[in-house]
Chain A
Amino acid sequence: MPRLSADRLHTVSFTLNGAPVSGAAEPRMLLTDFLRHVIGATGTHVGCEHGVCGACTVEIDGAPARACLTLAVQAQGAEIRTVEGLESSPGHLSALQESFREHHALQCGFCTPGILISLSALLRDSPEASEQEIRETLAGHLCRCTGYVPIVTAALAAQRRLRKAKGSADA
């Protein structure tokens, strides 16, 4: 049975936004710190470090989760998606990101990467999500700037945008 020693570095490998990544971590290293300091992917933000604020939310194997409540070694072999993986093509914002820009759904931007991950998963998995479901998803995040209303507006606008894009693709 593999036992990773506390005082050694161990190789951790997973898929980050579709590309394989690998680095060295002590067992106690959080996924947030691994992403930011070992891989250099600083898009994921670190807020409360006990699962309350939602700033560090990333997708692990297809579902939004707190990177600060996940050890790097637990992510071995997983599929991780972060805010860096959201753009539709290099240099082009996703429909959700574009709607955030248009509707002023961010001010300081600290909470934004986590919120984008949660909402993009919601709009992908439940394209017909109601405003109530959008608000329930947002309950897992703290934003101290916007008062949330512009974020809800942006999510609904992104939903319309995605529906329209799908409609023209189907036609």
Chain B
Amino acid sequence: MKPAAFDYVRAATPEEALEVLDQEGGDARILAGGQSLLPMLNMRLARPHVLVDIMAVAEWRELRDHAAGLRIGAAVRQAALERLDDLPRSQPLLAAALPWVGHAQTRSRGTVCGSVAHADPSAELPLVLVALGGEVHLRSRRRARRVPAEAFFTGMMATSRADEEIVEAVSLPARRPGAGYAFREVARRHGDFAIIACAAVVDGSGARLAVGGVADRPVARNLPAPDAKELTEALDDFAWDLDARDDLHATARYRRELVRRLGRKVIEEAARCHA
């Protein structure tokens, strides 16, 4: 349970970090808070040749809440978001999900972009990003591009990020007036990986439900309004389409049942906030 050997680079600017990625590609890994990467290193599931510590890059510490939404830089820790007094008002879904991300003892170090880059299928922050239709800002030495969250997550811990790119920031659209938001999760113990996590956005036109922990990535679907008769059938279809699997923590059948029940619950809860 000790990491294999690697070089360690402390980058002071984005250019320095991107240069290492450009030269070493897949042999290099970005080290931010380390709360996803260090377990992988300790268990030797990852054996990079070089780690690039980006926490000293001032530009990536940017956390900007403006009219269009919230932009969270690569070096912003989860705890820094929790300390934003205005977060429950400006980003109600994010504020509801944050306490479920790991434990206070890991949020103190872990970054938002790190969790997104790691792309664990049961992680809360990728789920929130998909539910809200957020964007992932990727940057390499040669180019910068923005990828919608739904296109960024491509599978189990797999993303559309290329080896020489870093997740430079993620952005969430501003809260929509008249929309309601809710988040719920079922786990064996608070802070454990979610057996299933649900995030809902409800407005006058219908509901959008995102589910994590069931498929190999967070998946969102637009559903009928909570008072519509068709919702039950739509939730049932969604539950089957997510292709749940049995594992140590829960059976596929239990997970499908949770999609139906927890899914309805968060949609109803979001509708109440919206009402």
Report the Cα distance A65→B53, complex, angstroms. 18
Which of A22-30, A103-111, A158-166 has 4 or more CB atoms under 8 Å from chain B? A22-30
B3 surroundings in chain A (CB, below 8 A): 28, 30
Interface residues of A in 113-142 (CB under 8 A from B): 118, 136-137, 139-140
Assess the A74–B6 pair: CB atoms within 8 A.
Answer: no
Interface residues of A in 1-35 (CB under 8 A from B): 1-7, 26-28, 30, 33
Q: Give the residue of A6, A68, A73, A139 whose beta carbon is less than 8 angstroms from that of B42.
A: A68
Assess the A49–B9 pair: CB atoms within 8 A.
Answer: no
A73 surroundings in chain B (CB, below 8 A): 8, 53
Assess the B8–A66 pair: CB atoms within 8 A.
Answer: no
Chain A interface residue count, CB cutoff 8 Å, equals: 33
Q: Mark A57-68, 1 if CB is under 8 A from B, else 0.
A: 100100111101
Assess the A63–B79 pair: CB atoms within 8 A.
Answer: yes
B41 surroundings in chain A (CB, below 8 A): 28
Assess the B9–A28 pair: CB atoms within 8 A.
Answer: no
Is A94 positioned at the interface, with any CB of B under 8 Å from its CB? no
Assess the A50–B42 pair: CB atoms within 8 A.
Answer: yes
Assess the B105–A1 pair: CB atoms within 8 A.
Answer: no
Report the Cα distance A74→B105, complex, angstroms. 16
Assess the A140–B104 pair: CB atoms within 8 A.
Answer: yes
Assess the A1–B16 pair: CB atoms within 8 A.
Answer: yes
Report the Cα distance A151→B189, complex, angstroms. 17
Known A3-B7, A74-B53; contact A65-B38, beta-carbon cutoff 8 A: no
Interface residues of B in 168-209 (CB under 8 A from A): 189-191
Is A69 positioned at the interface, with any CB of B under 8 Å from its CB? yes
Assess the A60–B108 pair: CB atoms within 8 A.
Answer: yes
Q: Mark B88-120, 1 if CB is under 8 A from A, else 0.
A: 000000000001001111101100000000000
Chain B interface residue count, CB cutoff 8 Å, equals: 38
Assess the A69–B109 pair: CB atoms within 8 A.
Answer: yes
Is B272 positioned at the interface, with any CB of A under 8 Å from its CB? no
Among the interface residues A27, A51, A118, A140, which one has the most CB atoms of the partner chain B within 10 A?
A51
Is B133 positioned at the interface, with any CB of A under 8 Å from its CB? no
Assess the A7–B109 pair: CB atoms within 8 A.
Answer: no
Known A1-B12, A118-B105; contact A74-B34, beta-carbon cutoff 8 A: yes
Assess the A139–B189 pair: CB atoms within 8 A.
Answer: yes
B8 surroundings in chain A (CB, below 8 A): 3-4, 6, 27, 71, 73
Assess the A49–B42 pair: CB atoms within 8 A.
Answer: yes
Among the interface residues B35, B42, B105, which one has the most CB atoms of the partner chain A within 10 A?
B105
B108 surroundings in chain A (CB, below 8 A): 60, 63-65
Report the Cα distance A26→B189, complex, angstroms. 35
Assess the B34–A69 pair: CB atoms within 8 A.
Answer: yes
Shortest distance from the beta carbon of B51 to any chain A beta carbon, whole Å: 7
Report the Cα distance A69→B99, complex, angstroms. 20
Shortest distance from the beta carbon of A140 to any chain B beta carbon, whole Å: 3
> A63 — nearest CB in chain B belongs to which residue?
B108
Report the Cα distance A118→B103, complex, angstroms. 11
Report the Cα distance A57→B102, complex, angstroms. 14
Residues of B within 8 A of A (CB): 1-12, 16, 31, 34-35, 38-39, 41-43, 49-51, 53, 55, 79, 99, 102-106, 108-109, 189-191
8 pairs of A and B residues whose beta carbons are closest in the complex: A140-B103, A27-B8, A63-B108, A49-B1, A6-B5, A50-B39, A69-B38, A140-B105
Residues of A within 8 A of B (CB): 1-7, 26-28, 30, 33, 49-51, 54, 57, 60, 63-66, 68-71, 73-74, 118, 136-137, 139-140
